[in-house]
Structure 1
Amino acid sequence: MATMRPVLVFVSLLFVVDPSGFTHGFVMAPRNLLGRLSESSSYLTTKEFWFDQTLDHYSPYDHRQFKQRYYEFLDYFQVPDGPIFLKICGESSCRGISNDYISVLAKKFGAAVVSLEHRYYGKSSPFKSHTTENLKYLSSKQALFDLAVFRQWYQESLNLKRNKPGADNSWFVFGISYSGALSAWFRLKFPHLTCGSLASSGVVLAVYNYTEFDKQVGESAGPECKAVLQEITELVDQSLESNGKELRKQFGATELEIDGDFLYFLADAAVVAFQYGNPDVLCTPLVEAEKAGENLVAAYAKYVKDYYVGTFGVSVETYNQKHLKNTTVSEYGSDRLWWFQVCTEVAYFQVAPSNDSIRSSKVDTKYHLDLCKNLFGEGIYPEVDVTNTYYGGTKIAGSKIVFTNGSQDPWRHASKQTSSPDMPSYIITCHNCGHGTDMRGCPQSPLRIEGNAQNCSSPDAVNKVRQKMIEHIDLWLSECKGTGRSYM
């Protein structure tokens, strides 16, 4: 099989966050555990470049532009015909190109790696204030056009440097979590601009009431740990009614005056253990505390403060609606931005199922809708049906897209999990296979994204899927036949 030297585009996710705190169990902002691990001290490059981007791609009259940040890594690039990998940054500040499995792929294929920061996030904000009115250009649709325009501009810049007008390298797009969804959607909407895409934990299905999320947490926890988590939830609900102030103090969360904010914070703290491949750090001490007859709420509070806030680095502030209403622009202030996308496009409302729930039943649809109204005003509502009609949800009708998911990841139920010839999907099954395992390896927390599969309980399962990814990339790049374009 011929191996072309492609240009890879990598999209990085759910959802992922800045060091000061992250997002909900969503796909993406402080309450968004979706793409949390995009923050790391390990980068292939952190050198910034800038590109003049169109503000509104859908208006023939509005010619405003803003500065959009991007990065390039050319160490493995086989000049002049190597491929270009486009790594998509998602719902957080993009501080460089992460040194994860993308570096292995780039070296193997002789590819350049370029990465574009998502509009509004990090240093790529078009406005000096994030009021609701100013956020109207923040959407996945505008972001996809950003990628298309950037892809064309970067190719032309490359051609100018090497004096080869009209040349077109082979491009391949990558993304994890929300960025994984963008990767799949980019291939769907702009098939002529990429040879294929990888959607790692790609959350392509917008979901109004995402009860499957909580159900997966229970399955990943196993019967014993699940029962303990449910008992803790019951005890917390009772204590919240009788002595809420003291309870919040016990968890170091006195600032979370709204019950739903506090309960969401506690639910996310449990989720992160399964989402990022460290179930034992949560379940082992809680099950031991149960067997020893110890105070379960105190045991959980210790986990939340020591691990979720301490080791994982979540800020309690990111769950505070007072904080989320702040319209000040900050490089690491992604919380409000992701919530706007949640409240307008994708929802992913992580509500408690009607029975056998892990999280409190008080984290319901009304809580989410009230939050959207409180943060952004009247008339803001997640157009889930519109989003799924536009992209296709899990019935996405693209081609040459690889979908990968970890068996323990609650987000996988918003991804495509059934294969078709042109869109193969793979579930990596192991004890600690979570969000983006194929690109990040295990464990995924603390913030280690070097992509070492040997840390997984079943490294062979990860390596098998990685080999499948390589085969598809190799085939689809070769089918571009040097044109950089794939129409099939």
Structure 2
Amino acid sequence: MVDVPKVLPVTLFLAFVLSLSVNAGIPKILRGRPKGGMLGVPKWHGKKEELPPDMWLKQKLDHFNDADTSYWEQRYFVNDTFYKDGGPIFIMIGGEGTADPIWMVEGMWIEYAKSYNAMCFQLEHRYYGKSHPTENTSVENLRYLSSEQALADLAYFIRYTRDKYQLYHNKLITFGGSYPGSLSAWFRVKYPHLVNGAVATSAPINAVLNFVEYLDVVSKALDTTGPMCNKMVQTAHMTVGKLLQTDSGRKQLKKMFNLCDDIDIANTEDVANLYSNLAGNFEGVVQYNKDNRAFEGAVGTNITVDTLCNIMNDVGRGDPIDRYAAVNALMLTTYSEKCMDFSYKKMIDDLTKTDWNSSAAEGGRQWMYQTCTEFGFYQTSDLKDQPFTGFPLNFSIQQCIDIFGAKFNADLIQKGINRTNTNYGAYGMKPTKVVFPNGSIDPWHALSFTTTSVDQPFTTIYIDGTAHCANMYPSTPVDPPQLTEARKTINTLIGQWLTT
């Protein structure tokens, strides 16, 4: 079996780029996932041709059905520039977005690789980026998309690379952030004979239907700037609800928030989507607050919790709803959006497209499928003690039904969640040689391990004041001491795993 660099046809590439510009119906952040995936890409000033090329291997379509002999090509990257004979294997696990070769030359795991003379690999997750196991993303074809299949892909990939690169006895460490962080920990649970240690950054390990804790963390993050920010957001959000009740109020909202369409108060999905998008202006900023991403082509990395709360607390900008509208205007300008598109139908239409040259190329449909079949993770407004309202649990469940079919109801979703937690252990899992770094500002830490008890065989690192996957990005001179210390601890643990 030979792997060779593979070139993406120009027509497909152009179609992919086009798809990213036309799927405006999909919110900036959906189910906790920004467009492109939850893990960004470090900034890099080199040339594209200097990055490792796309490499490909033949992968089994269904690892759990020997009667199915279908195969497909999965993408991966290699960087052997730091490797010395006997050095370890480092693997970055791909997740719910395109695997980027910039990670092969940047990021803290590369610094660790230099220290330990590691051979580095990155494996793209099936159904994301260029790794297309099926001809499209129809519901029938998406049945091969699951965390279990992804872990089996990784297991085969490890056996394949050990043979190809003659790394038969080298120790191996996996790295992942966000959902890939979960995969990193779960791989250590399911395939302990193949991996010697795992870094599971910002990894949700407990699947839940109603992830009310998400907005609880967002609310507490806003509180870090002072007691008034949450109050102003809540007052503004409630004012939106009052204005929705009259025709003149709805016209006022359209103008204030630069909405793409008129508001139809009878369209409950549109109204819920409007509420959700307004909350999303804050959710995305909190989730990635001061995380040092600064990734290529990224926008919004200069907007922080302080930025938003300074606006909400500025009485010179008018009433709280005027400040709320100012936050929305800032986000529209930052993301080069002409207006706020809150149309539920447009969002569903985008997420029901199945061609690889449609919005499916971005990955939102695939991630939505995984939440509807395995994880839930629905960030609703059902928690009382937080400033947002208007997008309850049934709004998220209805999206599963409208995108994938009537059978994807609450009962089916809950069964999938139960199976995930039973399969991997959720909070009951007890893997050895795993570290769980989490940031206090990151809402996803609520579904991970953040404290240590005497009977835990793994390590937790709770980093005060940092956000989603912050410890994975390159260090900067202004990093808080606790983040710097966390990176040192991870490095020390890797050293221990490699020598025991």
TM over 0.5: yes
CA displacement, residues 196-224 of structure 1 (integer Å, 9 cap, x when unaligned): 10011011111111111111111110122
- Which residue in 2 is equivalent to 1:137? 144
| Match status 1:224 vs 2:228 | yes
Tell me how large the CA RMSD over aligned residues is: 2.6
- Which residue in 2 is equivalent to 1:37? 40
Give the SS at the match of 1:144.
helix
Measure how far apart 1:315 and its partner are.
9.1
Are the equivalent residues in 1 in contact too, given 2:270–2:342 (CA < 8 A)? no
Q: 1: CA distance between counterparts of 2:342 and 2:41? A: 19
Instruction: Provide closer, same or farther for how the CA distance between residues 54 and 196 of structure 1 changes in structure 2, counting only shifts above 3 A.
Output: same
Return the letter of the residue paired with 1:467.
K
Q: 2: CA distance between counterparts of 1:322 and 1:40? A: 33
Instruction: Provide closer, same or farther for how the CA distance between residues 75 and 368 of structure 1 changes in structure 2, counting only shifts above 3 A.
Output: same
What is the aligned counterpart of 1:356 among 376, 385, 402?
385
Give the SS at the match of 1:124.
coil
Stretch moving more, 460-469 or 19-28: 19-28
Matches within 5 A, 1:34-433: 35-38=38-41, 45-78=51-84, 80-98=85-103, 99-159=106-166, 167-222=168-223, 223-242=227-246, 243-244=249-250, 247-248=253-254, 250-254=256-260, 258-277=270-289, 278-289=304-315, 293=319, 295-307=322-334, 309-310=335-336, 320-330=347-357, 332-360=361-389, 362-380=390-408, 381-382=412-413, 383-420=416-453, 421-430=456-465, 433=466
Q: 1: CA distance between counterparts of 2:55 and 2:276? A: 37
Measure how far apart 1:475 and its partner are.
0.5
- Which residue in 1 is equivalent to 2:478? 455
User: 5+ residue gaps in structure 1?
Assistant: 1-17, 441-450, 480-488
Instruction: Give the TM-score taking structure 2 as reference length.
Output: 0.81
Instruction: Give the TM-score taking structure 1 as reference length.
Output: 0.83
Are the equivalent residues in 1 in contact too, given 2:74–2:131 (CA < 8 A)? yes
Instruction: Provide closer, same or farther for how the CA distance between residues 293 and 29 of structure 1 changes in structure 2, counting only shifts above 3 A.
Output: closer
Q: 2: CA distance between counterparts of 1:408 and 1:423? A: 22
Instruction: Provide closer, same or farther for how the CA distance between residues 251 and 259 of structure 1 changes in structure 2, counting only shifts above 3 A.
Output: same
Q: 2: CA distance between counterparts of 1:365 and 1:81? A: 52
Measure how far apart 1:94 and its partner are.
1.3
Instruction: Provide closer, same or farther for how the CA distance between residues 217 and 327 of structure 1 changes in structure 2, counting only shifts above 3 A.
Output: same
Q: 1: CA distance between counterparts of 2:399 and 2:251? A: 21
Instruction: Provide closer, same or farther for how the CA distance between residues 315 and 42 of structure 1 changes in structure 2, counting only shifts above 3 A.
Output: farther
Instruction: Provide closer, same or farther for how the CA distance between residues 233 and 157 of structure 1 changes in structure 2, counting only shifts above 3 A.
Output: same
Are the equivalent residues in 1 in contact too, given 2:174–2:197 (CA < 8 A)? yes
CA displacement, residues 164-201 of structure 1 (integer Å, 9 cap, x when unaligned): 8xx22111000000010000001110111111100110
Return the letter of the residue paired with 1:116.
L
CA displacement, residues 428-457 of structure 1 (integer Å, 9 cap, x when unaligned): 112xx10011112xxxxxxxxxx224333x
Are the equivalent residues in 2 in contact too, given 1:24–1:264 (CA < 8 A)? no
Are the equivalent residues in 2 in contact too, given 1:29–1:336 (CA < 8 A)? no
Q: 1: CA distance between counterparts of 2:343 and 2:80? A: 39
Q: 2: CA distance between counterparts of 1:251 and 1:36? A: 29
Instruction: Provide closer, same or farther for how the CA distance between residues 25 and 213 of structure 1 changes in structure 2, counting only shifts above 3 A.
Output: farther
Instruction: Provide closer, same or farther for how the CA distance between residues 39 and 126 of structure 1 changes in structure 2, counting only shifts above 3 A.
Output: farther
Instruction: Provide closer, same or farther for how the CA distance between residues 375 and 423 of structure 1 changes in structure 2, counting only shifts above 3 A.
Output: same
Give the SS at the match of 1:94.
coil
Q: 2: CA distance between counterparts of 1:152 and 1:413? A: 34
Return the letter of the residue paired with 1:462.
L
Q: 1: CA distance between counterparts of 2:87 and 2:218? A: 42
State how many pairs are aligned. 435
Q: 1: CA distance between counterparts of 2:342 and 2:113? A: 38
% same residue: 29
Give the SS at the match of 1:454.
coil
Q: 2: CA distance between counterparts of 1:349 and 1:100? A: 30
Are the equivalent residues in 1 in contact too, given 2:451–2:462 (CA < 8 A)? no
User: 5+ residue gaps in structure 2?
Assistant: 1-18, 264-268, 290-303
Return the letter of the residue paired with 1:342.
T
Instruction: Provide closer, same or farther for how the CA distance between residues 418 and 147 of structure 1 changes in structure 2, counting only shifts above 3 A.
Output: same
Q: 2: CA distance between counterparts of 1:323 and 1:19? A: 11
Are the equivalent residues in 1 in contact too, given 2:219–2:387 (CA < 8 A)? yes
Are the equivalent residues in 2 in contact too, given 1:91–1:178 (CA < 8 A)? yes
- Which residue in 2 is equivalent to 1:483? none
Give the SS at the match of 2:165.
helix
Return the letter of the residue paired with 1:218.
S
Measure how far apart 1:70 and its partner are.
0.5
